[in-house]
């Protein structure tokens, strides 16, 4: 079972990478042994589980992952590196900062936790701020409202999968809900949303929506990149009717338009639909 997580990814064109990396990714794309899109999440999750189940556990891979998610548009190759080591370091740092020391010592032996932190500090000193840029953002048990902003409802791609008799439809393979757009469109929509929020709600309130954070992150990448929102393992928490009814991107866009045109009741109603849908999803984290 995949983790109940969603992903926001940026795929950069091959030409955006340094010359030394272009050949590596071009050869990788032609390889028959690389994980395919249909099994990539399983492979990525499997690697992390094996590390954490080891004795002692290893919260961070010893080497950076050689894998990536790929997209082709006509003859152009787009690459989204997994960056499993960097993402694990960042996640471990957040976990360590938010977890009481005694509980953290039970999760990961103190010596390993300290070594992991030291290794990350060395990496940061050598790589600089640009070396901390990740192509993938992850969130568990929900999709933040700000993640819907870069997309349009017409960019929605839904695959329900097919269940065998007696099988729960949420466990079918091939189940996906994905949005994909160009970087230019993503930046334009994020900028517009930020302007609307600031104009009508003010700087302090608009900051709570994290749209500015997403907009700044998008600016770090090549202008001809692709941006993807993948519901990932969250699709296994939703039945077919719930997935088909999920129009969070369109609803949030309608809320922003309503706010900007003085239709406050429409804006509130659309925003509440999005918020309540995902709050109910988050509550499943503490269900038993």
Q: Classify residue 256: in a domain, yes or no.
A: no
| Residue numbers of the chain with a pLDDT score lower than 50 | none
pLDDT at 21: 94
Q: Which domain holds residue 85?
A: 1-140
pLDDT at 163: 62
pLDDT at 179: 98
What's the pLDDT tens digit per position in 190-249? 999 999 999 998 877 667 689 999 999 999 999 999 999 999 999 999 999 999 999 999
Q: Classify residue 229: in a domain, yes or no.
A: no
Q: Classify residue 91: in a domain, yes or no.
A: yes
pLDDT at 170: 67
Q: For tokens 């192509």, what's the residue?
A: 135
Q: Classify residue 135: in a domain, yes or no.
A: yes
Q: Classify residue 152: in a domain, yes or no.
A: no
Contact at 8 Å (CB) between 221 and 186?
no
In total, how many domains does the chain have?
1
């Amino acid at each position: 079972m995949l983790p109940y997580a969603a992903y926001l990814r940026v795929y950069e064109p091959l030409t955006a990478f340094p010359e030394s990396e272009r050949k590596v990714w071009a050869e990788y794309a032609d390889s028959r042994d690389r994980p395919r899109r249909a099994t990539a999440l399983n492979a990525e999750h499997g690697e992390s589980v094996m590390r954490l189940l080891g004795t002692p556990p290893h919260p961070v891979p010893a080497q950076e992952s050689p894998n990536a998610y790929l997209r082709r548009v006509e003859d152009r190759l787009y690459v989204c590196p997994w960056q499993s080591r960097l993402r694990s370091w960042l996640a471990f740092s957040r976990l360590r900062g938010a977890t009481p020391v005694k509980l953290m010592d039970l999760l990961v032996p103190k010596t390993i936790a300290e070594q992991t932190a030291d290794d990350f500090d060395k990496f940061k000193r050598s790589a600089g701020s640009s070396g901390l840029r990740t192509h993938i953002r992850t969130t568990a048990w929900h999709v933040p409202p700000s993640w819907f902003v870069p997309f349009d409802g017409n960019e929605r791609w839904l695959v329900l999968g097919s269940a065998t008799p007696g099988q729960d439809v949420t466990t079918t393979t091939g189940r996906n809900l994905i949005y994909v757009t160009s970087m230019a469109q993503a930046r334009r929509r994020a900028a517009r949303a930020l302007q609307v929020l600031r104009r009508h709600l003010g700087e302090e309130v608009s900051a709570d929506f994290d749209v500015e954070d997403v907009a700044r992150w998008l600016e770090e990448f090549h202008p001809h990149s692709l941006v993807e929102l993948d519901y990932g393992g969250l699709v296994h928490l939703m039945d077919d009717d719930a997935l088909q009814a999920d129009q969070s991107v369109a609803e949030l866009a309608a809320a922003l338009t309503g706010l900007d045109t003085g239709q406050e009741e429409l804006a509130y109603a659309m925003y509440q639909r999005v918020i309540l849908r995902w709050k109910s999803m988050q509550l499943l984290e503490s269900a038993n």
